[in-house]
Structure 1
Amino acid sequence: MEVSLDAIDRKILSELQQDASLPLDEIARRVGASKTPVWNRIRKMRNQGVIRKQTVILDPDLLGFESCFFVLIRTSEHEEGWQDKFLNVIRNRPEVMEAHRLAGDIDYILKVRVPNAKGYDEFYQKLISEVKLFNVTATLSMEEIKSTTALPL
């Protein structure tokens, strides 16, 4: 269900996507509205689920997570029990930054952050010991060209 947003809502969301720590006064100034209506709009968008949460974005390299692997997974298992177990495993692995179920030859893709190749191997060994997989292929990202959490409003 799509939520109806006007131009001011979209401006507020754009500002929040760039820096959610901005003071309410500054957001109001940037979008050309007063503080109370902007606060009410933000509260409404939170209640509607448009704004899921606020967080910080950390620098993985500075924190020792220099290696980013994209893990392509094919499975021959499609039963509900297997899928529940698989989803539980990947949701509980802190190395998994993103996980997507795909259409096509590959069933799942994971974005995994680890310190190095040894860290990836440890992740891989634990993964295959916890859940049966048909084929796992990993690709190392050599350079992050673009990374954003901002939607194109």
Structure 2
Amino acid sequence: MIDDLDARILNILQDDATIPLNDLADKVASSRSAVWRRIQKLTDDGVIKRHTIILDPEKAGLGVMVIAQVKMQAHSRDSLPHFIDKVKSFPEVIECHTLMGDVDFFLKIRVKDVQAYEDFFWNSLSQIEGVREINSSIALTAWKNTTKIAVKPTK
């Protein structure tokens, strides 16, 4: 269960995980020790998965985002886990989701340029056993791009 204080802590930490504990405690109107205990519990409970940084993909040399929708030939016991294992090994793939409906997988892929995607497409993605069809789209402008989840109390 996430109460109001936990929600306020989580929403602030998602904006800046490096905020000093004293500043965080002031912002949520609680004591430093209470906030520290809450963060530890949220981490122990798996609500906080990890602390990380977010890079600017263009400045990191990965300015092209490709959305790929993948259809598999069959849904055998081995083909889907094999595809997932292969995709996890590709650093270009930053997200992979299994879907219900006409498409089996949704991938977000970051590459340097269109040529890099073409190389990745022909030499890696399309070479995975069991892949029937890949539909790719190049993202033009990101109007919203966030990792932040709007946390609300669950109590």
Query: Under TM normalisation by the shorter chain, which class is it?
Result: over 0.9
Q: Determine if the alignment matches structure 1 residue 130 to structure 2 residue 134.
A: no
- Point out 4+ residue stretches in structure 1 off by more than 4 angstroms: none
Alignment gaps of 5+ in structure 2:
none
Alignment of 1:88-127 (within 5 A): 88-125=85-122, 126-127=124-125
Report the Cα offset of residue 132 of structure 1.
Answer: 2.6
AA in 2 matched with 1:147: N
Partner of 1:149: 147
Q: Work out whether 1:76 is the aligned partner of 2:76.
A: no
In 1: Cα distance, 2:102 partner to 2:141 partner: 26
Q: Give me the CA root mean square deviation.
A: 0.9
Does 1:9 pair with 2:38?
no
**Residues in 2 aligned to 1:56 and 1:131: alpha-carbon distance in whole angstroms:** 34
1:23 maps to 2:37:
no
Structure 1 spans left out of the alignment, 5+ residues? none
Once the two structures are superposed, what CA deviation does each residue of 1:101-151 show, in whole Å capped at 9, x if it has no partner?
111111111000001111111111212223331110100001111111111
Aligned length: 150
TM-score (norm 1): 0.95
Quote the offset at 1:93 in angstroms.
0.7
Higher relative contact order (CA 8 A, sep 6+): 2
User: Deviation per CA, 1:20-79, whole angstroms, max 9, x where unpaired?
Assistant: 011111110110001001000000000100000010000000111110000011112211
* DSSP 3-state at the match of 2:78: helix
Identity of aligned residues (%): 32
Q: Is the 8 A contact 2:126 2:134 kept in 1?
A: no
- The counterpart of 1:33, out of the listed 4, 8, 30, is 30
Distance in 2 between residues matched to 1:107 and 1:17, nearest whole Å: 31
